[in-house]
Amino acid sequence: MIRIETPLAPLRGPKTVNVYLLPGPPLTLVDTGPRTDRAWEALQAGLAGHGYQVADLERIVLTHAHADHYGLAARLVAASDAEVLAHADAIPWLSDAAGLGARNWRHFKETVVRAGVPADLLERWLAVQRRGGPLAEPVQVTRIIGPGECLVIGEATWEVVHFPGHAPGLIGLLNRAAGEILVSDHLLPDMPAPPGLYVSLDGAAERPRTMGDYLAALRKLATLPVRTAWPGHGEAVGDVPALVERRVAGHQQLADELAGLLADGEKTPYGLWRALFPRLLPLDPPNGTVQVISHLDLLEAQGRVAARERDGLIYYRRE
């Protein structure tokens, strides 16, 4: 397995994205990096450093539908005719990046405004996000892969593991014989990667609440027979159970802090985020508010808080 770092220039967060080359046959690339010229050049250089070129690629496995992980996929397919593999839940997001993305942005905006984020602040934040153009373009998945399915690549067998929560259809690849796993963004060494906010694709009015699934998947990861986990950003993780324990405890601690902040009365998620600033990452109000919402979901599932709507805003109170 060969790790190739491609540059990422976000406003905040990791500076690079890891993609992984699995020598074949079939020659397989796991994730691609974002749709930028710098990432394309870095990927080409990484392949060349090991005696390959883009045209040699036979398979691309996409771990999830975040632009920094699949942005170059369509360009790679055009240059190589590689097949594209992904989880079924990721396909709508990969194949309709513009349409579904716009629908999800509307859902995101409506949710965070109801959560108390001022509309003018949100619009300023959105204007910054739009700079530089899209980091991905649609790509057609040619083969669906699911949990337990095994991919034989060269002399290695990689088992597909589903890690719900952070993104729809996020998967990892487990090599039991080597005791290693590709975990994408499910477990990062330097920061938590909790669930984002996604519109329901089945027409349900209720938004998906995935914090419970995310924490369960983290605990499942800790039970797998691995010595090394290779993440989507940053360096390899050695003691996986220990890091999982810290992440799970950290999410519960944050939920407990939110419950404590509600002791003196009900608050909106944005109001809670402001009370936590600047400890909560990421430090932008919309995404920070979304992370508050996901932890309030955890408290609600535990029966510790309840929500109600008043004057177009959502408020939480302790039970």
Evaluate if residue 280 carries a pLDDT over 70: no
- Residue 169 pLDDT: 95
Asked if residue 287 is part of any domain, the answer here is: no
Asked if 214 and 255 touch (Cβ cutoff 8 Å), the reply is no
Q: What is the DSSP letter of 176?
A: T
Percent of the chain whose pLDDT exceeds 70:
93
Asked if residue 230 is part of any domain, the answer here is: yes
> Quick one: 79 exposed, middle or buried, by C-beta within 10 A (0-12, 13-18, 19+)?
middle
- Residue 299 pLDDT: 97
Asked if residue 303 is part of any domain, the answer here is: no
- Residue 103 pLDDT: 82
Instruction: Give the mean pLDDT of the chain.
Output: 91
The pair of structure tokens assigned to 60 is: 């691309």
Percent of the chain whose pLDDT exceeds 90:
74
Look at the chain and report how many structural domains it folds into.
1
Asked if residue 39 is part of any domain, the answer here is: yes
- Residue 168 pLDDT: 93
Q: Which domain holds residue 52?
A: 2-96+133-245
- Residue 40 pLDDT: 97
The CATH number linked to 230 is 3.60.15.10
pLDDT class for 180, splitting at 50, 70, 90?
very high
134 CB contacts (<8 Å, ≥6 apart)?
35, 67, 97, 98
Q: Which tops the pLDDT comparison, 43 or 124?
A: 43
- Residue 155 pLDDT: 95
Distance between alpha carbon 56 and the CA centroid of its chain, in Å? Answer: 28
List, as one string, the DSSP characters of 223-269.
HS--SEEEESSSSPBS-HHHHHHHHHHHHHHHHHHHHHHGGGS-B-H
Asked if residue 189 is part of any domain, the answer here is: yes
pLDDT class for 147, splitting at 50, 70, 90?
very high
| pLDDT one-digit tens code per residue, 72-94 | 999 999 999 899 999 999 999 99
Asked if residue 44 is part of any domain, the answer here is: yes
The string over 141-180, giving b where at least 16 C-beta atoms fall within 10 Å of a residue's C-beta and e elsewhere, is beeebeeeeebebeebebbbbbbbbbbbbbbbbbbeeeeb
| pLDDT one-digit tens code per residue, 9-54 | 755 568 899 999 999 899 999 999 999 999 999 999 999 999 999 9
